[in-house]
Structure 1
Amino acid sequence: MEDDKRTAAEAVDAFGRAAKLVVRAFDERLGDRGVSTPRSKLLAEIERLQPVRSADVARAVGITQATASTLVDALVREGLVMRAPDENDRRAVRLSTTDAGRRQARDWRADYTAAAHEMLACLSHGEKKQLTELLTRLGDHLA
């Protein structure tokens, strides 16, 4: 049992280190565009889910609603996202991308995919699929 606990701690440490390095690598890659990984993912998710409520897109990206609100405000100011009233709930707002936002989301998604491919080049296709399955199971367990 102690060995299993020690192995779990080592796995969490390795995961935490890798997660930080992955985020840093994405930020460096997407930094050329002047955006962070959460912001680019937020725009891409708005584009994918639109029209979408802020709370729903925050949940999809894995950030707090307050963080999403701050990022959405910046995306609106830049003309990449627009707000519209929710037809079913007068208190709610739906987010959609503008034409410029759709183009930017497409470009960010291409950069994100290319960066992910480069970062995981040390793994075979099967290992990438296995890693995805394990991380998805871990995320579902922790959610």
Structure 2
Amino acid sequence: MANNASMTNTKTIVSLENWTGYRFGLIASRLGSFIAPMYEDRHKLTVPAWRSLAVIARYQPLTAAQLATLTSSDAFKVARAIDLLVRRGLIHRDVDKADRRRASLKLSADGRKVYKDIEKFVVRVERELMAALDAHEIDVLRRSLDKLDHQLEVQIKAQGREKFL
């Protein structure tokens, strides 16, 4: 009986719709489902390819390992996205002369054009989405997201999954 009581006291009931990951996932999925058909239809890009193109546009030049980290994608998805983008002529993959295992990824002129086309669409959608919030709420949201990202990366992941089992 004491075990049941202590188990009940240590559990905090949080409804599914209040789970941060669930809510973030829903919003991201809904937003992605709205945006993805644009770049799939107009530019024949997959979600990982578009995400990779956008990250390369922002942080170029970078390596495949850096791209994987910045997109939170596994090496296989990143490799496929890079291959697609190179085949389509949207990025250049230049082998590092000092270390032939590494390559530097940069947008090509065509890649910049495709990126700019998609960016215009995404920015318009982002503005409409964020119109639901005032300037203070946007600032609080961005600061809160930074804090949550930091907490996940620095505190929670560092402790390992076992702590939470």
Q: Which has the higher contact order (CA 8 A, sep 6+)?
A: 1
Over residues 2-50 of structure 1, what are the superposed CA-to-partner deviations in whole Å (9 max), with x where a residue is unaligned?
7965279724233332232222222244344233443223112213322
- Select the structure of larger CA radius of gyration: 2
- 1:137 maps to 147
Runs of 5+ consecutive residues of structure 2 not aligned to the other structure: 1-8, 154-165
Match of 1:60 in 2: 70
User: TM-score of the superposition, structure 2-length normalised?
Assistant: 0.73
Q: Contact between 1:29 and 1:115, CA under 8 Å: does it hold in 2? A: no
Change (3 A) 1:29 1:135: farther
The residue number in structure 1 matching 2:23 is 14
Q: Where do 5+ consecutive residues of structure 1 fail to align?
A: none
> In 1, Cα distance between the equivalents of 2:51 and 2:134?
25
Provide the C-alpha distance between the structure 1 equivalents of 2:73 and 2:152, rounded to a whole number of angstroms. 15
Alignment partner, residue 97 of structure 1: 107
1:67-104 deviation digits (Å, cap 9, x = unpaired): 11101111111111121111332211111221111111
Separation in 2 of the partners of 1:32 and 1:125? 34
Report the TM-score when normalising by structure 1. 0.82
Are the aligned partners of 2:49 and 2:84 in contact in 1 as well (CA < 8 Å)?
A: no
Counterpart Cα distance in 1 of 2:49 and 2:63: 16
Give the CA RMSD over aligned residues.
2.5
Give the drift of 1:63.
Answer: 1.5
Q: Is the 8 A contact 2:89 2:111 kept in 1?
A: yes
Identity value in percent: 26
